[in-house]
A and B are shown apart, each in its own frame.
Chain A
Amino acid sequence: MPAALRRRLALVPLQLLGVALVVFMLLTATPGDPAENLARLRQPGSEPTPELVAAIRQDLGLDDPAPVRFGRWLLGAVRGDLGVSYKTGKPVTHDLLARFPATALLAASALLLSLAIALPLGIAAALRPGSWLDHAAGSLTLLALTVPGYVLALTGILIFAVTLRWLPAFGAGTAAHLVLPAVVLAAGASGQLFRVTRAALLEVLQQDYLRTARAKGLPPHTLVLRHALRNALTPVVTMCVTMAGHLLGGAVVVETVFGWPGLGKYAVDAVFLRDAPAVLGAVLYLTAAFVMLGALIDLAYGALDPRMRADKA
């Protein structure tokens, strides 16, 4: 393992602790009582009685002072026990593991789909800037970037589920269920990826070494695929990894509209409910995911550009 990566990983526990502490403090500082929220959730529409709220509070151990509660959580967390969600009554690790596959599947599909759309389009547009293809792709991605995901999702359901009846309107379980959520997520992502690919490649194509290569008479595909693209990929990879991080955190809008059983809605619901163990668990998972993706970026940079290998720095 490279020394830089080791150094990075050594810091992870400290980062996790810091994030958990800040999140816990924010949760306790903002108004909202988990016991009251839970009472309202369990019996929608009814004013919870003070006795009920007090009983739930006692049941969940919320009467203890905040530092005691955090300490208790931390003691469990270092042993791998992230506590029990107030809402589901299940261990948070169980909840996260139950929802991770759906999130990972959706994230991977959306990312691959957006790469499949954005990379070829971006390359083609950069090779012929100002052409009709460039303009068409540019307008299309602008549309994909500006239409809110919620609108796109509902329109997708209206066309493909209600009118054409080709795809299910919601749910998970089969490949058909994956299509609409993945396409909606990929639309925004491919818009961004297209722009980055096009801009990066355009910039690289104008560099001196490529002019030299062109003057030497290298065939265009060798020029682009072997020499230009490799250099242009660095920002694209960065963006992909950042996107992967965000997608692994779940896609709240898409999960809400399609009833997709992912982590995003779980985390957001937990925040609204002030379900501290669930929020902390989700945040730890997300922090860990980003740390790992960060390490992945470093490795990818090194592979793409020898100058950037951390060990040689």
Chain B
Amino acid sequence: MAFLDSPPDPAAGGGFQSVRTGLAETLFRLNHRLEPEGWLALSAERPQPLTWELALRPNVTFHDGAPMTAEAVKASLERALSKPSAPGALLDIARIQTKGAATLAIETNGPVPTLPGLLSDPSFAIVNAAAAAQQGEAFADRPVMTGPYKVVSFQSASELVVARHEQHWGGRPASPRVVFSYLPDASSRALALQAGDIDIADYVSPESVTTLQANGGLEVRAGESVSLVFLYLNQRREPWQDVRVRRAVASALGREALTKAALQGRGSPAQGMFPPSMLRCEGTPLTPPQVDRARQLLAESGFTETDSEGYLLRRGQPLTMTLLTYRQRPELPLVAEAAQASLKAIGVRVTVRMVESIGPALRQPDWDAATYFNNMATTGDPYWALWQFFSSGGSANAGGYANAKVDVQVQDLARLNDRAARLQAGCAAAQLAVEDVAVVPLMHPLYNYGVSKAVTGFDRPHPFFMYLMDGGVGRR
């Protein structure tokens, strides 16, 4: 595993890791099309605009044998709500009540049409809150949850050992015992797989893919991509306020060639913000780099002269770009390098700057562009990503993009109840922002797993890499 850090208790920050390792389950989960569907809940009804009624799955037992009652779920949700969580304010819960042993009524302060999707956030994984209160601090490492596996031992950044939960509602899990080992180096993970020391390696780098595929006992598998690699353009700085300059950059970058260079085929060029696994929007067509068009756009915005090296000038000022990138996502430095070469062809002098931590670097004023990676499908709904990246004042709108029309569209989307209508509105808003080159979408990388052929039940990995281990994964 590339990551194995947080204590498994969702309240201690380990929800994502625990859903991943088969320890935890949420009331709803995202299916392969990234739509929310029932998991520990069977269904969700909304009898009134401010009330959701959830029918809970029967015969679910916690790892300690206690039954999962409506009271237990209520206690678990209340415990989660008292802790930091990603959906936080979006959930806007006023009151949780039980209606009999198997139904939960959730009242919200305002309308929350996407409540099931928001409850798929791993911080709301269901735990036995009574056991948590009883066990105190020990619960962080050995939480009592409902997943097909339960914790045997956990050492942060070292090892998580789990054993099957015999009474799991989905039937007896396939593996008696699973060991998750922390191995942060991608090459080591690939080698450990080749040596036969592990059965599944997560987050395999594109460079290792060919070697692993050449090995008769191994395969490389991936679900559809849920992620996006894109380029921020800092519109608080000259000359990136000018949409013609931004369009020039977008048309100079051949997304197919960039994808090939950075991902070696393990991904697809992006036509819009959302990966097709989640949202099939009408995107911008893929074209090879359009150097002439880019040059013309730049000429229209005043870059008409060139210096001795062929770089463009406007009123004697060179067209330069400081491009930030970071190592935590290995494909990004490759993207930056390839973009540097492509932009040189249209006369932009690009300086690539590697930063240790991208978040703080983006809050500084001294950059023009930045490569970035984001998972677009966390709750299966487009609203959150659109608000973050494209709304003026959005929390991830690092380039300072502002378009009143997009703001209105995103606000309207928030109020829509019907999922199909939300998706359609999401596409429209994303399309508008991409036409404006709010950012430059580049590619959707695959999340690659190296898998031993001895492994069963892992033929079709879930697109969202949070759903890795389930009761079906076993070994011949």
Binding site for B on A (CB under 8 A): 31-33, 36-52, 55-56, 59, 87-90, 95, 98, 154, 157-158, 161-162, 165, 168-171, 256-259, 261, 265-266, 269, 272
Given A157-B195, A168-B197, A169-B192, A45 and B181 touching (CB < 8 A)?
no
Within 8 Å by CB of A165, from B85, B196, B375, B389, lies: B196
Within 8 Å by CB of B191, from A43, A154, A272, lies: A154
B181 touches A259 (CB 8 A): yes
B16: nearest residue on chain A (CB-CB)?
A43
B188 touches A31 (CB 8 A): no
B191 touches A158 (CB 8 A): yes
A41 touches B5 (CB 8 A): yes
Task: List B contacts of A170 (CB < 8 A).
Answer: 181, 183, 188, 192, 197
Flag whether B86 is at the interface (Cβ < 8 A).
yes
A42 touches B6 (CB 8 A): yes
Flag whether B3 is at the interface (Cβ < 8 A).
yes
Flag whether B170 is at the interface (Cβ < 8 A).
no
User: Chain A's nearest CB lies how many Å from the CB of B135?
Assistant: 14
User: Chain B's nearest CB lies how many Å from the CB of A156?
Assistant: 10
B88 touches A49 (CB 8 A): yes
Task: List B contacts of A59 (CB < 8 A).
Answer: 83-84
B188 touches A258 (CB 8 A): yes
Q: Which of B56-64, B150-158, B253-261 contacts A (4 or more CB under 8 A)?
A: B150-158
B364: nearest residue on chain A (CB-CB)?
A31
User: Chain A's nearest CB lies how many Å from the CB of B136?
Assistant: 13
List 14 extra interface pairs beyond A46-B86, A47-B374, A88-B156, CB under 8 A. A39-B84, A42-B6, A44-B2, A49-B88, A49-B395, A52-B84, A52-B86, A89-B7, A89-B13, A154-B187, A161-B195, A169-B192, A170-B197, A259-B188
User: Chain A's nearest CB lies how many Å from the CB of B206?
Assistant: 16
Flag whether B185 is at the interface (Cβ < 8 A).
yes
Task: List B contacts of A33 (CB < 8 A).
Answer: 359-360
Q: How far is the CA of A32 from the CA of B85 in the complex (A)?
A: 20
Within 8 Å by CB of B3, from A37, A41, A56, lies: A41
Task: List B contacts of A38 (CB < 8 A).
Answer: 13
A87 touches B6 (CB 8 A): yes
Within 8 Å by CB of B16, from A42, A49, A90, A162, lies: A42
A57: nearest residue on chain B (CB-CB)?
B84
A47 touches B3 (CB 8 A): no
Task: List A contacts of B364 (CB < 8 A).
Answer: 31
B197: nearest residue on chain A (CB-CB)?
A169
User: Chain B's nearest CB lies how many Å from the CB of A57?
Assistant: 9
A52 touches B3 (CB 8 A): no
A45 touches B156 (CB 8 A): no
Task: List B contacts of A42 (CB < 8 A).
Answer: 6, 13-17
Would you mind naming 5 contact pairs between A and B with Cβ atoms under 8 Å apart? Answer: A48-B86, A89-B6, A161-B191, A258-B188, A269-B5
A102: nearest residue on chain B (CB-CB)?
B158
Q: How far is the CA of A272 from the CA of B360 in the complex (A)?
A: 13
Q: How far is the CA of A25 from the CA of B176 in the complex (A)?
A: 49
Task: List B contacts of A52 (CB < 8 A).
Answer: 84-86, 88
Within 8 Å by CB of A88, from B5, B16, B187, lies: B5
Q: Is the interface of A mostly helix, strand, loop or mixed?
A: helix
Flag whether B89 is at the interface (Cβ < 8 A).
yes
User: Chain A's nearest CB lies how many Å from the CB of B433?
Assistant: 16
Task: List A contacts of B14 (CB < 8 A).
Answer: 42
A55 touches B88 (CB 8 A): yes
Within 8 Å by CB of B158, from A36, A168, A261, lies: A261
Of the listed residues A40, A259, A272, the one surrounded by the most CB atoms of chain B closer than 10 A to its CB is A259
B20: nearest residue on chain A (CB-CB)?
A44
User: Chain B's nearest CB lies how many Å from the CB of A32?
Assistant: 5
Of the listed residues B2, B122, B182, B195, the one surrounded by the most CB atoms of chain A closer than 10 A to its CB is B195
Chain B contact-residue range equals 35 or more
B7 touches A88 (CB 8 A): yes
A271: nearest residue on chain B (CB-CB)?
B356
B156 touches A51 (CB 8 A): no
B195 touches A43 (CB 8 A): no
B84 touches A162 (CB 8 A): no
Within 8 Å by CB of B182, from A51, A56, A259, A272, lies: A259
B85 touches A171 (CB 8 A): no
Flag whether B396 is at the interface (Cβ < 8 A).
yes
Task: List B contacts of A258 (CB < 8 A).
Answer: 188
User: Chain A's nearest CB lies how many Å from the CB of B340?
Assistant: 24
Q: How far is the CA of A132 from the CA of B155 in the complex (A)?
A: 50
B3 touches A257 (CB 8 A): no
User: Chain B's nearest CB lies how many Å from the CB of A97?
Assistant: 12
- Mask of B395-426 contacts with A, CB within 8 angstroms, 1/0: 11000000000000000000000000000000
User: Chain B's nearest CB lies how many Å from the CB of A254?
Assistant: 11
Task: List B contacts of A154 (CB < 8 A).
Answer: 187-188, 191
B184 touches A95 (CB 8 A): no
A31 touches B361 (CB 8 A): yes
- Mask of B258-288 contacts with A, CB within 8 angstroms, 1/0: 0000000000000000000000000000000
B122 touches A43 (CB 8 A): yes
A31 touches B360 (CB 8 A): yes
B89 touches A51 (CB 8 A): yes
Q: How far is the CA of A95 from the CA of B5 in the complex (A)?
A: 12
Q: How far is the CA of A98 from the CA of B87 in the complex (A)?
A: 34
A48: nearest residue on chain B (CB-CB)?
B86
Task: List A contacts of B182 (CB < 8 A).
Answer: 259
A43 touches B184 (CB 8 A): no
Given A170-B181, A272-B356, A261 and B375 touching (CB < 8 A)?
no
Within 8 Å by CB of B184, from A157, A171, A256, lies: A256
A259 touches B183 (CB 8 A): yes
User: Chain A's nearest CB lies how many Å from the CB of B163?
Assistant: 18
Of the listed residues B156, B183, B375, the one surrounded by the most CB atoms of chain A closer than 10 A to its CB is B156
B3: nearest residue on chain A (CB-CB)?
A44
Task: List B contacts of A40 (CB < 8 A).
Answer: 359
Task: List A contacts of B361 (CB < 8 A).
Answer: 31
Flag whether B128 is at the interface (Cβ < 8 A).
no
Q: How far is the CA of A162 from the CA of B450 in the complex (A)?
A: 15
A171 touches B360 (CB 8 A): no
User: Chain A's nearest CB lies how many Å from the CB of B183?
Assistant: 4
A90 touches B156 (CB 8 A): yes
Q: How far is the CA of A48 from the CA of B396 in the complex (A)?
A: 9
Flag whether B114 is at the interface (Cβ < 8 A).
no
Task: List A contacts of B311 (CB < 8 A).
Answer: none
Task: List A contacts of B169 (CB < 8 A).
Answer: none
Interface residues of B in 354-412 (CB under 8 A from A): 356-357, 359-361, 364, 373-375, 378, 384-385, 388-389, 395-396
A274: nearest residue on chain B (CB-CB)?
B357
User: Chain A's nearest CB lies how many Å from the CB of B468?
Assistant: 12
Pairs A-B, 5 closest by C-beta atoms: A55-B84, A31-B360, A51-B88, A45-B375, A169-B195
A44 touches B16 (CB 8 A): yes
A47: nearest residue on chain B (CB-CB)?
B396
